[in-house]
């Protein structure tokens, strides 16, 4: 068994949304006004009360470092919070919850914050960077992960024990935020959603009590947190199941965009017979100051010879300009897609895609990618399609499609959104399904991610567990 502390100093990722008034009437409004006035120097009592409530650092508007601490990961999203609280540990988290409960205020918890939506406006923004303990139990094949720990730390510690977690395409994200949203992993076809691999959550409930939520204790909370977001409690740590780490093979292949029809045909063929150990993603790219390109990203949980054999149809396509496939470390997954590891002004849309028939292929290839940076299709199925008793439920669709654009100036936003919507409209409602919860974007709600039965159950748990709306996630289930 090993224990380590993982330092963090990363900004968060929330956006603008209107403040949701939560059941305290005039008393709540008065408390919020007093806190705001104190933060701005008019009536300092509320700010001082908040600073004395916890041992961690409190930043208020006007304090040095406040703007950076309150800034979301995605700089296109504006966020106006009343304070930023860097909680020191789980006891500190409980003290902060009790303070917010008594003051009639709400908390928005952001470990790092890649899912900004604007819902944090008017809240105390909670930073969990100090909750950085990471413990690997190789014998039990499990990891206890503090809410401030990112996937790169977990993968490094797990790899030392010949184990792996279920990370996504970027290891810079926090394990907690990613998993609460479901977590669509490179290894999801083999091991399911990241949320399916949770053994337990350590949380602070809306009354400030420390609880441990498992399948046998606090079962409703355990169910909701496995993919339903952070609307139900403040998570301080997660216990995850780890998996044996065989040899990993993977990388990226790129061609000129003129080869897209051949590459997409091979993608359809390969994914039609892929074992669960193989994950393949297709992308159309328009990199800045470069010609349009088409790419294949892949990982295979096995040796290079078999991985290469499974992908050999791509070797028959001429004109390839690069190929990074090789045996790789489980800590090197970021090298495949090279996603930004620092805050980026971006816009995105995503949805599940029922299938890729000939008509859909034609529509995808008919339009230029620009002004988008990429159009990505991920192969799903495997364990992701198996029954799952959690909000991150089985996916009947075969693919996921995502659209990403980089916003360098304000006018870019409308163009990026219009092109994304044009693709969705072209594919049509018969192919486009719900949006993965972790991929929701401002303007959408939790209803866009869940079936009626699941959203109804999540709302019941929210009302029972947090009737006054103390916790405010990026996408609230009661919206």
CA count, 13 A, side-chain hemisphere, 271:
26
How do the pLDDT tens digits run along the chain, 479 residues long? Answer: 444 444 433 333 333 233 232 233 333 333 333 444 333 333 344 566 899 999 999 999 999 999 888 888 776 777 889 999 999 999 999 999 999 999 999 999 988 766 657 778 899 999 999 999 999 999 999 999 999 999 999 999 999 999 999 999 988 899 999 999 999 999 999 999 999 999 999 999 999 999 999 999 999 999 999 999 999 999 999 999 999 998 999 999 999 999 999 999 999 999 999 999 999 999 999 998 899 999 999 999 999 999 999 999 999 999 999 999 999 999 999 999 988 777 778 889 999 999 999 999 999 999 899 999 999 999 999 999 998 889 998 899 999 999 999 888 888 889 999 999 999 999 999 999 999 998 998 889 999 999 999 999 999 999 999 999 999 999 999 98
How is residue 256 written in tokens? Answer: 């000129």
Residue with tokens 């997954």: 333
294 close to 255: Cβ distance less than 8 angstroms: yes
Same fold, 25-127 and 248-439: no
How is residue 265 written in tokens? Answer: 């045909």
State the CATH architecture for 130-244.
Answer: 2-Layer Sandwich (3.30)
pLDDT in tens, 88-115: 999 999 999 999 999 999 999 988 766 6
Distance, CA of 207 to CA of 38 (rounded, Å): 25
Helix (H, G, I), strand (E, B) or coil at 263: helix
- Residues ≥6 apart with Cβ < 8 Å to 429: none
pLDDT in tens, 9-45: 333 333 323 323 223 333 333 333 344 433 333 334 4
Helix (H, G, I), strand (E, B) or coil at 22: coil
Distance, CA of 261 to CA of 271 (rounded, Å): 15
Domain 248-439 CATH assignment equals 1.10.645.10: no
**pTM, two decimal places:** 0.88
Instruction: Compute how many other C-beta atoms are within 10 angstroms of the C-beta atom of residue 345.
Output: 16
CA count, 13 A, side-chain hemisphere, 461:
25
CA count, 13 A, side-chain hemisphere, 102:
10
- Domain limits of the chain? 25-127, 130-244, 248-439
DSSP string of 174-198, one letter each residue:
BHHHHHHT----TTHHHH--GGGGE
Tell me which fold the domain 25-127 belongs to: 3.30.43
Distance, CA of 39 to CA of 48 (rounded, Å): 9
């Amino acid at each position: 068994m090993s224990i380590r502390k993982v330092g963090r100093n990363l900004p968060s990722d929330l956006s603008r949304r209107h403040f949701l008034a939560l059941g305290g009437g005039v008393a709540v409004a008065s408390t919020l006004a007093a806190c705001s006035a104190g933060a701005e120097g008019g009536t300092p009592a509320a700010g001082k009360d908040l600073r004395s409530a916890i041992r961690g650092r409190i930043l208020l508007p006007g304090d040095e470092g406040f703007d950076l601490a309150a800034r979301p990961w995605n700089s296109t999203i504006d966020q106006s919070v009343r304070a930023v609280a860097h909680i020191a540990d789980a006891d500190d988290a409980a003290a902060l919850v009790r303070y917010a409960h008594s003051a009639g205020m709400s908390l928005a918890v952001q470990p790092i914050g890649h899912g900004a939506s604007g819902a944090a406006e008017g809240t105390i923004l909670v930073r969990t960077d100090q909750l950085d303990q990471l413990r690997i139990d190789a014998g039990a094949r499990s990891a206890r992960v503090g809410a401030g720990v990112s996937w790169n730390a977990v993968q490094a510690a797990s790899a030392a024990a010949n184990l792996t977690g279920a990370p996504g395409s970027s290891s810079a994200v926090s394990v907690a935020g990613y998993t609460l949203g479901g977590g669509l992993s490179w290894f999801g076809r083999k091991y399911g959603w990241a949320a399916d691999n949770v053994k337990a959550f350590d949380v602070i409930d809306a009354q400030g009590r420390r609880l441990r939520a498992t399948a046998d204790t606090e079962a409703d909370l355990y169910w909701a947190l496995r993919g339903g977001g952070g609307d139900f409690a403040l998570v301080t740590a997660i216990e995850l199941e780890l998996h044996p780490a065989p040899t990993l093979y993977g990388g990226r292949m790129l061609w000129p965009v003129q080869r897209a029809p051949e590459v997409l045909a091979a993608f359809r063929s390969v994914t039609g017979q892929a074992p669960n150990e193989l994950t393949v993603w297709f992308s159309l790219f328009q990199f800045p100051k470069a010609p349009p390109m088409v790419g294949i990203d892949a990982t295979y949980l096995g040796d290079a010879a078999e991985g290469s054999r499974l992908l050999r149809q791509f070797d028959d396509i001429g004109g390839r300009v690069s190929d990074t496939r090789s045996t790789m470390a489980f800590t090197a997954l970021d090298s495949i897609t090279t996603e930004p590891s620092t805050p980026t002004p971006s816009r995105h849309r995503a949805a599940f895609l029922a299938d890729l028939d000939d008509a859909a292929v034609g529509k995808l290839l008919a339009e230029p990618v620009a002004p988008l940076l990429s159009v990505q299709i991920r192969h799903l199925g495997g364990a992701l399609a198996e029954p799952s008793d959690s909000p991150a439920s089985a996916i009947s669709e075969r693919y996921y499609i995502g659209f990403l654009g980089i916003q360098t100036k304000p006018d870019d936003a409308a163009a990026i959104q219009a092109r994304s919507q044009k693709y969705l409209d072209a594919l049509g409602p018969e192919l486009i399904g719900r949006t993965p919860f972790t991929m929701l974007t401002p303007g959408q709600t939790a209803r866009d991610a869940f079936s009626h039965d699941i959203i109804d159950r999540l709302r019941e748990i929210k009302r029972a567990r947090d009737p006054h709306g103390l916790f405010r996630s990026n996408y609230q289930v009661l919206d």
